[in-house]
Amino acid sequence: MLLLTILICSFSVLLLYSLVQNNMTQQITSVDVTLDYTDYRNQAIAAMMGLGFSIVVAVWDYRKFSKLWFIYLPLMIGLTCLTFTSLGESGLEGADDRAWIMLGSFSLQPAEFLKLAFILSFSYHCHKTQEIFNNPLNIIALCVHGAIPIGLVMLQGDDGTALVFAAIFLAIFFTAGISWKYILGAGILSPIAIWFMWTHYLQDVHKNRILAIINPSKYATKDMLYQTNLAKIALGSGQVRGKGLFGGDYSYVPVCHNDFIFSYVGQTLGFIGCLGLIILIGFICLRILGNSLRSSDPLGKFICVGVFAYIFSQSVLNIGMVMGLTPVIGITLPFVSAGGSSMLSATASMGLVMSVYYHSARFDTIFAKKK
């Protein structure tokens, strides 16, 4: 797991260095974001910090750490609430979200770290209430637990991250053994919830982005697919082997260093590079699930499933966004997209998985010796 994480983080730094180098030499025209060498250096620093922290987390018993939910969960929620103050800013100029806090020249996206706090606290909540898990009052309490971070992120206007939180919530919820009666009830009520969201929450621009995916020809002239169309052109321009990481004739894609970095992978490394990256992410996800199966207790299983849901759902949403299969919702590709907060969160989550593996292995060894 550690080697896989180092590999994909190194790939991210190399890719961002290539993008910065090509930007500095004007190989990519009309770049709307000024990039320089500090960008890939910051990415490398964030990756090294995250990897170092993941090792520390791996050594620390996840059972003891999860019990401290009353410290880290309120802290992360409080940090997220700061985005609603004068410190809050949008990640990109002209965007309608307020998901960042500015501390001088330093920017931070608290929701990235709230993901880890939610995975730990919700896993612990499910673990501690297993004997009464399907009690109606406990189900309500668990739903409130999940609704708080999801609601906060939605209030920020960061719907993409809210979907990732929802995926984490559902994955742990199902793994913990929710009764089919609640699943059936949720299925019956889901059309009402979708109607309410469509009519009372989503703005016209968000509705049009969804409708543009369903019927692209109708919305082709409304710029709803502007970024996606450019990304698809860039993605296909690399053909099988790509144009190379340096000195090619690259196509312009807005924020290709961040949300649309997968399109740059397609340009530079072609279909082979894209397939290789998807296989690498898929292998990491399978490894996480493998660790969940060998966990010595349900808590470790829930944590691994939560991390899997985080990495898998965010990767699917991001790649789907670039390929025109999902709406443009402003979400990064884990481990790969530029951004210190995103890199730190993804690498630290691997520390949680490695902690489950390491301490489950120790438990098995101790138990075998006692026998």
Residue-by-residue DSSP string for 79-98: HHHGGGSTTEE-SSTT-S--
Least confident of 12-16, 84-88, 168-172, 297-301: 84-88
Are 295 and 204 spatial neighbours (Cβ–Cβ below 8 Å)?
Answer: no
Mean pLDDT of 192-196: 89
- Alpha-carbon Rg for the chain in angstroms: 21
47-69 residue pLDDT tens: 999 999 999 999 999 999 899 99
Residue 330's pLDDT is 83
Mean pLDDT of 234-254: 87
Are 170 and 310 spatial neighbours (Cβ–Cβ below 8 Å)?
Answer: no
pLDDT category, 313, cuts 50, 70, 90?
Answer: very high
- Is 176 among the domain residues? yes
Least confident of 85-99, 244-258, 319-333: 85-99
Does residue 36 carry a pLDDT above 60? yes
Does residue 343 carry a pLDDT above 90? yes
The whole-angstrom distance between residue 223's C-alpha and the CA centroid of its chain comes to: 26
Residue 252's pLDDT is 83
Residue 24's pLDDT is 55
Mean pLDDT of 148-168: 92
Does residue 220 carry a pLDDT above 80? no
Residues 90-121 as b/e (b if ≥16 CB within 10 A, e otherwise) read bbbeeeebbbbbeeeeeebbbbbbbbbbbbbb
The whole-angstrom distance between residue 20's C-alpha and the CA centroid of its chain comes to: 23
Max alpha carbon distance in the chain (Å)? 71
More confident residue, 159 or 223: 159
Quote the pTM value: 0.91
- Is 78 among the domain residues? no
Does residue 197 carry a pLDDT above 70? yes
- Is 361 among the domain residues? yes
Does residue 234 carry a pLDDT above 50? yes
- Strands (E) located in the chain: 88-89, 100-103, 106-108
- Is 201 among the domain residues? yes
Residue 251's pLDDT is 84
Does residue 31 carry a pLDDT above 90? no
Mean pLDDT of 249-266: 88
- Is 26 among the domain residues? yes
Mean pLDDT of 257-280: 94
Residue 30's pLDDT is 47
Question: What's the token pair of residue 148?
Answer: 């708080």
Question: Angle 159-175/298-323 helices, nearest 10 degrees?
Answer: 140
Residue 148's pLDDT is 95
Does residue 342 carry a pLDDT above 90? yes
Mean pLDDT of 317-321: 94
- Is 75 among the domain residues? no
Does residue 152 carry a pLDDT above 80? yes
Mean pLDDT of 319-346: 91
Does residue 366 carry a pLDDT above 60? no
Residue 363's pLDDT is 59
Average model confidence (pLDDT) for the chain?
87
SS3 call for 269? helix
The count of domains in the chain is 1
- Which percentage of the chain shows pLDDT scores above 70? 89
55-108 residue pLDDT tens: 999 999 999 989 999 999 999 999 999 888 877 776 555 456 677 887 766 788
**What residue numbers bound the domain in which 269 lies?**
2-67+112-370
- Is 88 among the domain residues? no
pLDDT category, 354, cuts 50, 70, 90?
Answer: very high
More confident residue, 227 or 24: 227
- Is 57 among the domain residues? yes
